[in-house]
A and B are shown apart, each in its own frame.
Chain A
Amino acid sequence: MKTALWKTFALLAVVSMLGALCVVPAAAQEPGKVDEAWYAKAAEPYKGVTITGVSESTPPSKYAAEVLAPAFEKMTGIKVKFEVTSWDQMYDKEMKDMEAGTGLYDFVYLEQDIVYAYMARNFLVDLDQMMKDKPELVRPGFNWDDFVAFANYFKDPKTGHMMGMPMESFLKTVVYRTDLFGDPKIKEAFKAKYGYELAPATTFQQYRDIAEFFTQWGKDNNMELWGTVVQAHTGHVASWYEQVESILPAFGVYNWGINKDNWKACVANGGQMNSDRAKEALTWWLGNLKYAPPEATSSTWDEIAASFAAGRAAMGWEYCENLGWIGRDETKSKVIGKFAVALPPLYKGVLEDAKAGKGYIGYYDGGAYAIPVGSKNKEAAFLWLMYIGDPGIQAGWAIAGTRITMKATLDDPAVKEMDKQLGGYFTFYKEYSSLFAGAPPFPFHASVREVVAPFFFRAITGELTPSDALDQACAAAEEELVREGYGK
């Protein structure tokens, strides 16, 4: 009997595995219309070539791999293969390939914060130069001015030439629950307690009041509701990122507090990492943990989106690429139609600084595709990049991935229609994106991050006070910078 049991089980396992191999994929989507004749002609010399790229499996990248790549192949005969991997693996593989010059990848995902590192090492093909050398590969009507300002981040500071083709960009800003903020009973209770109307916070004190209020409201009404999400994972650099991307700039501390002239971080040497303002920022942010759901100290970008989508917080900073599914996917979100975006609370003077171009109010995130110098199929890859930057496909891509790279996309009727489901995010983007900024131009981005983050984690767990944490962090940062040859 026992052997019969094992035999049946074995059969079951084998059958299910074979069955897995037979499942047929669903029908693919169609991208927007482009000048197919031009692409076919330009790609003639490269027909049959296969180009390989490495990327993550976020919705925009998935759309590129599953919809754009097959369409491109049909048009040109150039096959586009995607190595899909996790976020940290992606960088590791790209960097190894470019450092060793092995030419494994013909295009790589270039996140905005790593671009300076790559440029410093001359890893990438100069796209402007390539356009000059091979004008037959340039799509007629192509103009860098059609892109949003975010594209400027991919300019080599030395030459002003573009080194990457933007493929996505988003903002990280405050998102809040319109159903809660608009509920008359709640509004009344709030006004009674705090003395002013409930509205998205413009000062840090207001933000704190609102967070405190909703946490109490959740307790009183037996709801799984807290005031705010906080991206405060005690072991993953995501927490440090929230601080330097969003909180510090809102307090008026830019570029992580590192002085770009002498590469110093401590106040004593001209930096700002342990300035009073930075300490105030960290203290305020840590204070919000009291009004955050329990998973806050275990939250990376993944969990803060999940928490908000599960209805567990009244507001919080969110990476807005998530709004696409938070606003439309019932299998993932409980707050469809119940949220809107807003400007974050800001320190006095920060908004004016940002408008004048002297500072910024939050994080402008995104990436591009670039061609490593070691690629064996630069021309074919370049044509792929041309397709990525073609206005014809942008609207469909925006709807699938909640990402914008060209100005005209924001005026597309389908995109405007989607805006309502995103709590007004696209409108917000159009008006305010110029006030946000990407990561500072630091080639040492990753190494200094790894050195500074541990002090940060200890501040979150309470092992260090915010003041001590920042004092020690700036010293460690300076030590690492000198060791890598930046500053004395």
Chain B
Amino acid sequence: MKSTRTGWGLLAPTLIILAFVGVLPFLYVFYIGFFDWTMFAAKTGLVFAGVNNYRRLVFDNDFLAALARTVQFAAWAVVSELILGFLLAQLLLRNFRGRSIFRTIHALPLVVAPIAVGATWRLFTIPGFGPLPYYLDKWFGFDYNISRYPSHAFATILLMDIWHWTPFVTLTLLAGLTALPREPFEQALVDGANRLQVFRYLTLPMIQPILLTTVFIRIMDALRIVDEVWMLTGGGPGTSNRYVGLHIWLIVFPKTDYGYGAAMSLLTLYFTIVLSWLLFIAIAQAGRQTTA
């Protein structure tokens, strides 16, 4: 057929770059996961520890708790963003005056740097100085304090994430919905299907690929959230919102426990892959059933 040499040649730049800045560091991280390496320990340098780091991780309550919290947060965030994004995409389907302006405004959070997002929300919600606690107290007498009540902090982080990432879901779903052909839907209407049936048997299966992609990307990113949470509460109150990305950051940076941090990162990555894969299968399965 065609000479595969050209093919590999075209792929080469990508592979070289990714091998260099992607695979090499990855292998390094994999390597030091087998060592004990803390910058200011009495015994300096890499101390071989075999699979000890991984063994410690399995019993590390702080790590497991962080992981559980992260999954809880990701679940809430992704489901909310999905529902909201879908509804908004529906609203944006038909043209109306000012649609592009609203669409642009809605997409604005996507272009703000995550660290700035965290800083803005912190200033907005900080007890004593921020407008949100002030007005909630003034108008409703509600004691809103993200540094005292874990549930308040969680709700705020969730809201911040929804604010930041729903536009992404809206836009991708909008793209998917826009490209759908008209005939099946018009036919369904003629056949007397109600809107729920149309949704379940027509819309869902047809946008399934793009839905899967969007969900996958969001879950991946939600499980990795760090800067915004750090800026908002530092993971607090206490450790109630210390998600796994932040937990690893704190292990690696101030604590300089590199070996343990490496093992933790790889375990988290493995967990993320497995979770995503399971979800992938679940959604694909659901899609297959409805097209029956």
Q: List 10 A-B contacts (CB under 8 A).
A: A88-B253, A235-B233, A235-B236, A236-B234, A295-B127, A298-B126, A298-B127, A443-B40, A444-B41, A446-B255
Which residues of B sit under 8 angstroms from A483, Cβ to Cβ?
A: 41
> Chain A: residues with CB nearer than 8 A to chain B?
2, 88, 91-92, 95, 99, 117, 120-121, 233-237, 293-298, 303, 306-307, 312, 443-447, 449-451, 454, 457-458, 460-461, 463, 483-486
- Scan residues 28-62 of chain B and give those whose CB is less than 8 A from a CB of chain A: 38-44, 62
Interface 9-mer from B8-16, B73-81, B145-153, B267-275: B145-153
Select which of A91, A121, A236, A297 is within 8 A of B148 by beta carbon. A297
B129 at the binding interface (Cβ < 8 Å): yes
Interface of A is mostly: helix
Chain B 109-127 interface 0/1 with A at a Cβ cutoff of 8 Å (1 = within): 0000000000000000011
Identity of the chain B residue whose Cβ is nearest the Cβ of A114 in the assembled complex: B40
Top 5 A-B pairs, shortest CB-CB distance: A235-B236, A485-B42, A235-B234, A295-B128, A234-B237
Given contacts A235-B234, A295-B128, A295-B129, contact A447 B253 (CB under 8 A): no
Identity of the chain A residue whose Cβ is nearest the Cβ of B149 in the assembled complex: A461
User: Could you tell me the distance between the alpha carbons of A293 and B148 in the complex, rounded to whole angstroms?
Assistant: 13
With contacts defined as CB atoms under 8 Å apart, how many contacts are there between chain A and chain B in the complex? 115
Q: Do residues A458 and B39 form an inter-chain contact, with CB atoms below 8 A?
A: no
Identity of the chain A residue whose Cβ is nearest the Cβ of B240 in the assembled complex: A461
Q: Do residues B42 and A298 form an inter-chain contact, with CB atoms below 8 A?
A: no
Identity of the chain B residue whose Cβ is nearest the Cβ of A300 in the assembled complex: B234
User: Could you tell me the distance between the alpha carbons of A256 and B248 in the complex, rounded to whole angstroms?
Assistant: 25
B22 at the binding interface (Cβ < 8 Å): no
Given contacts A444-B40, A444-B41, contact A461 B128 (CB under 8 A): no
Identity of the chain A residue whose Cβ is nearest the Cβ of B236 in the assembled complex: A235
Given contacts A117-B40, A236-B236, A454-B239, contact A298 B147 (CB under 8 A): yes
CB distance from A183 to the nearest CB of B (A): 24
User: Could you tell me the distance between the alpha carbons of A311 and B133 in the complex, rounded to whole angstroms?
Assistant: 19
Select which of B133, B234, B240, B256 is within 8 A of A95 by beta carbon. B256
CB distance from A209 to the nearest CB of B (A): 23
Q: Do residues A298 and B40 form an inter-chain contact, with CB atoms below 8 A?
A: no
Select which of B42, B129, B238, B241 is within 8 A of A458 by beta carbon. B238
Q: Do residues B253 and A463 form an inter-chain contact, with CB atoms below 8 A?
A: no
Q: Do residues B127 and A294 form an inter-chain contact, with CB atoms below 8 A?
A: yes
Q: Do residues A447 and B126 form an inter-chain contact, with CB atoms below 8 A?
A: no
Q: Do residues B40 and A485 form an inter-chain contact, with CB atoms below 8 A?
A: no
Q: Do residues B42 and A484 form an inter-chain contact, with CB atoms below 8 A?
A: yes
Q: Do residues B41 and A2 form an inter-chain contact, with CB atoms below 8 A?
A: no
Which residues of A sit under 8 angstroms from B62, Cβ to Cβ?
A: 454
CB distance from A101 to the nearest CB of B (A): 12
B235 at the binding interface (Cβ < 8 Å): yes
Q: Do residues B254 and A294 form an inter-chain contact, with CB atoms below 8 A?
A: no
Which residues of B sit under 8 angstroms from A91, Cβ to Cβ?
A: 254
Given contacts A121-B44, A233-B147, A307-B128, contact A450 B250 (CB under 8 A): yes
Which residues of A sit under 8 angstroms from B255, Cβ to Cβ?
A: 446-447, 450-451
Q: Do residues A234 and B38 form an inter-chain contact, with CB atoms below 8 A?
A: no
